Each structure stands twice: as C-alpha cells, then as structure tokens.
Amino acid sequence: MEELVQYILKFGDLSKQQLELIVSKGEELKIRKDSYFSEAGKIPKQVGFIVEGVIRGGYYNNKGEEITRCFIMENSLVCDYVNFEASTSSSEYLQAATDCSLIVFSKKNWEELSHIISGWDNIKNKMVQLCMYQKSRKGPVISQDATTRYLEFLENYPSVINRVPLSYIASYLGVTQQSLSRIRRNIR
C-alpha cells in the first residue's frame, strides 16, 4: 500500500495513524485484462487507486461503436466520480487494458473516511479534482493528422504502447487499426 500512502501525502499531511486508518479501509483487487472496473449503464461502486496496470476509459457512441476516451496509468485514482458520488448510472465504462492491481474503496468505506479523519475531505477533493483534470486533458488533438496524434501519444504515454492492444490505441487516436498500422510503418 506504500504507493497509495505516497500518493495521498502529495495532497496534504496526515499522521502515520491516520494513513493506516485509510489503508485499512481499502481492499486489494486484481482484475484481469479486458474485465471491467465499472460498466456503462451501471452505477460506479468503487473508487480505485492503480498500483499496477493500465485502465481504459471509454463509452459506446450512438452507433454502438467503442470509443476510447483516455488511458489511466499507475499511481492514479480511477473513478467515474460524479456518478459514483451521486449514485447515478454512468454512460462510460472503465476497463482493464492490462492485468491490473488496484486498491479499491467501497462507497461506504470512502464516505466513512470523511467522518473519521479530519482534513480528509480537503485531500480527497484535491485528489478527485486531479483525477478529473487528467481525464479531461491530454487527449489527442482532433485537428492534427493521425501521424501527429500517434507521435504525441508516444511522447505522453511511452509506457503504454507495448502493453495494450493496438486496437485500443487506434480507437483512442480516432483511426482504424489499419491506418494506425500504416502510420507505424511509414514512421520507421
């Protein structure tokens, strides 16, 4: 759980005792590649912290096609927070793009922390805001051509390229898998 502790401490100071209390409310969860952390059409039940692996955030457009909206990496919070908080069903899913190792908090445990740790809400909100901020930025720039988008993806996510199926990356970049394959050939 050490990674989680270090992550939390980036947002504010807590005593060793308080940190132990937080960790005690989390559970380790391993999920296999392609399984879902939360599903489209369902209420998100957990907040997660990624210890190892990559999570893919996406949704189905009105033609039923899968759209990949973001990749979430190690040492990040992962949650569809607005729907988690409001207990509303989400239009998005969060899916393991690789085998993942997480620390998860049930809604009950997550809310309890607000009551038993003073200062937690402040830290929590900063963490959630960063989580949402990271989801919202750094996406591929729609006005750039596919080659540029791919090269920028390599810069922003160098560790992802060899870990997740190419089809997910193509979906993220907004091109067909064939086009991405051609782009990769032309770059060499």
Partner DNA sequence: TTCACTTTTTACCATTTGGTAAACAGCGGT
Partner DNA sequence: ACCGCTGTTTACCAAATGGTAAAAAGTGAA
For binding to DNA (CB under 7 A), which residues are involved?
A: 143, 145-147, 165-167, 174-185
From the list 21-29, 30-38, 126-134, 160-168, the region that binds a second copy by CB under 8 A is 126-134
173 binds a second copy (CB under 8 A): yes
Residue 56's binding partner, choosing from a second copy, DNA, none, with beta-carbon cut-off 5 to 8 A by kind? none
Helix (H) or strand (E) holding 58: strand 55-60
Greatest Cα-to-Cα distance within the chain, rounded to the nearest angstrom: 57
Quick one: tokens of 162? 């060899």
Residue 85's binding partner, choosing from a second copy, DNA, none, with beta-carbon cut-off 5 to 8 A by kind? a second copy
From the list 43-51, 103-111, 131-139, 157-165, the region that binds a second copy by CB under 8 A is 131-139
Query: Residue 55: CB partners within 8 Å, gap ≥ 6?
Result: 37, 48, 71, 72, 78, 94, 95, 96, 97, 100
SS3 call for 71:
strand
* Whether the Cβ atoms of residue 125 and residue 85 lie closer than 8 Å to each other: no
User: What is the C-alpha separation between 122 and 176, in angstroms, rounded?
Assistant: 43
Residue 187's binding partner, choosing from a second copy, DNA, none, with beta-carbon cut-off 5 to 8 A by kind? none
186 binds a second copy (CB under 8 A): no
Shortest Å, Cβ 76 to a second copy: 14
Tell me whether residue 48 or residue 58 sits nearer to a second copy (CB atom). Answer: 58
How many CB atoms sit inside 10 A of residue 116's CB?
A: 11
SS3 call for 12:
coil
From the list 34-42, 159-167, 169-177, 180-188, the region that binds a second copy by CB under 8 A is 169-177
Shortest Å, Cβ 39 to a second copy: 17
User: What is the C-alpha separation between 84 and 81, in angstroms, rounded?
Assistant: 5
Contact residues: a second copy, CB under 8 A: 61, 65, 67, 81-82, 85, 121, 125-126, 128-130, 132-133, 135-136, 139-144, 171, 173-175
